[in-house]
Amino acid sequence: MGSFSIAALSEPAATAARPIQASAESSDAPIALSEAGKISRMVLLVFVDGVGIGPRGPQNPLDGIDSPFFSIFADEPFEPARGGALAITDARLGVEGLPQSATGQATIITGRNAAAHLGRHLSAFPGGSLRPLLEAWSLFRTLGDRGLRTAHANVHPSSIARRRVRTVSATAIAAETAGLPLRTLDDVRAGRALHHEFTNESLRSYGCDVGLVTPHQAGERLAAIAAGVDFCAFEYFLTDAAGHDTEARTARRRISQLDDFLDALLASVDGKSHVVLTSDHGNLEDLSSGSHTLNPVATTVWGPAAADAAASISSLCDIAPAIAALAV
């Protein structure tokens, strides 16, 4: 694993600016150059809502489809595709009750235990209650304060026609409060942003004038967006919706699209960069109910220091510090 130091992962985000040396095991893939000609060792966070690690069985739509990224089962070994390193990740955060989206996502993007901060798990969208936490501690803020370039690759809900999407995620609030530009439908058309449902089928159903893209193309687009910055986040929500709908066929279609998306993405990211895939709580892996689960989630890391980064992650609180240590 080269000279990457695990100590860097345990430092507070604000002081974890230690450069990570290139690994001797790095691939020969070309190194992306930023507009300024700087060598990019980007970190890309890919968030997929509501996918946990549960047992096999008829209730679990991941059983029997052999997804290279998501068919992970309790008490079974799993080797992620393309050399990823897996971290089994607690989503309960030491707080009673079912883990929920607003607090889980706020914890992922800040590294602060948002559920403990509020004293409960908060569902869906954070509104104002988590805004100060997101404004002060998000990776967009803390990495930006280190002089790193950050981006939220998703189109902002405010730009979507008919304003069919009025909700703003924790990560979008974090990006907004850090002063990042809000990506628009024009950015989607130009390949500079993605809707969370990255094929644009749902945008078109809202009446938006955007072309369809394949999951493969969308993965390549996200890699290109991320190559221009030091840290980029992308978020996807339809896996959680499929879990709430308890619809196995839809769940498997979403996972299949994500598999194609992630495979193309990972094939397009340069060999010095890292990709971190995670979720906020279980749901899709148990369609016997339409509720979230208490199961852990999978965090998978790809890149030269993937194994050490994954080894530092045991709960949602550990993801942001790991990313802060990887970002240079």
Structure-token match 């979720």, residue found: 279
238 versus 327: smaller Cβ distance to Zn ion: 238
Query: DSSP string covering 234-287, please?
Result: EEE-HHHHHHHHT-HHHHHHHHHHHHHHHHHHHHHS-TT-EEEEE-SSB-TT-T
Per-residue tokens: 27: 């691939």
Interaction of residue 235 with Zn ion, rule CB under 5 A: no
Q: Which stretch binds Zn ion (CB under 5 A): 46-54, 58-66, 219-227, 263-271?
A: 46-54
29 versus 124: smaller Cβ distance to Zn ion: 124
Q: How far is the CB of 122 from Zn ion (least distance, A)?
A: 11
CA pseudo-torsion sign 225, 227, 230, 232: positive
Q: Nearest to Zn ion by Cβ — which residue? A: 101
C-beta of residue 155 within 8 angstroms of C-beta of residue 188: yes
Find the binding residues for Zn ion in span 73-112 (CB under 5 A).
101
23 versus 202: smaller Cβ distance to Zn ion: 202
40 versus 279: smaller Cβ distance to Zn ion: 279
106 versus 305: smaller Cβ distance to Zn ion: 106
Q: Which stretch binds Zn ion (CB under 5 A): 66-74, 208-216, 232-240, 260-268?
A: 232-240
Query: DSSP string covering 186-249, please?
Result: HHHHTTS-B-SSTTSHHHHHTT-------HHHHHHHHHHHHTTSSEEEEEE-HHHHHHHHT-HH
C-beta of residue 232 within 8 angstroms of C-beta of residue 150: yes
Interaction of residue 49 with Zn ion, rule CB under 5 A: yes
Angle in degrees, CA 140, 142, 145, rounded to 5: 100
Q: How far is the CB of 173 from Zn ion (least distance, A)?
A: 15
Find the binding residues for Zn ion in span 204-223 (CB under 5 A).
none
- The site for Zn ion, by CB under 5 A, has a size of 5
280 versus 286: smaller Cβ distance to Zn ion: 280
Find the binding residues for Zn ion in span 277-296 (CB under 5 A).
280
Question: How many whole angstroms separate alpha carbon 269 and alpha carbon 271?
Answer: 7
Q: How far is the CB of 291 from Zn ion (least distance, A)?
A: 12
> In the complex, which residues of this chain contact Zn ion (CB under 5 A)?
49-50, 101, 240, 280
